[in-house]
Amino acid sequence: MNREIKLKNCPFCGNDAYLAESWEQTKIVQCAVCGCHTVHYANKLDAIEAWNRRVSAPETSEKKSR
Ligand SMILES: [Zn+2]
């Protein structure tokens, strides 16, 4: 089964991100404009997940309610 997961837009500049592969064949997700990226993952799904999690972090960050 080949699941396609959509990459969210960059959390910093809001532009498109893409999946890149390093020379070691690790996967990262990188912003096409500002160049911010995730750390390297062996599995592309992990990289995508990490990216999407980071993107949604500001909105869904734990509520600091008192
Ligand atoms: Zn960006």
pTM of structure: 0.73
pLDDT at 61: 47
Cα-to-centroid distance, 6 and ligand 1 (Å): 16
pLDDT at 53: 92
pLDDT at 63: 58
pLDDT at 60: 47
User: 36: closest CA among 17, 60, 21?
Assistant: 17
pLDDT at 44: 93
Cα-to-centroid distance, 7 and ligand 1 (Å): 12
From residue 50, alpha-carbon distances to 7, 33, 44, 57 in Å are 10, 19, 10, 10
Low-confidence ranges of the chain (pLDDT < 70): 1-3, 57-66
Question: Domain boundaries in the chain?
Answer: 1-57
What length is written for the chain? 66
- How far, in Å, CA of 57 to CA of 54, rounded? 5
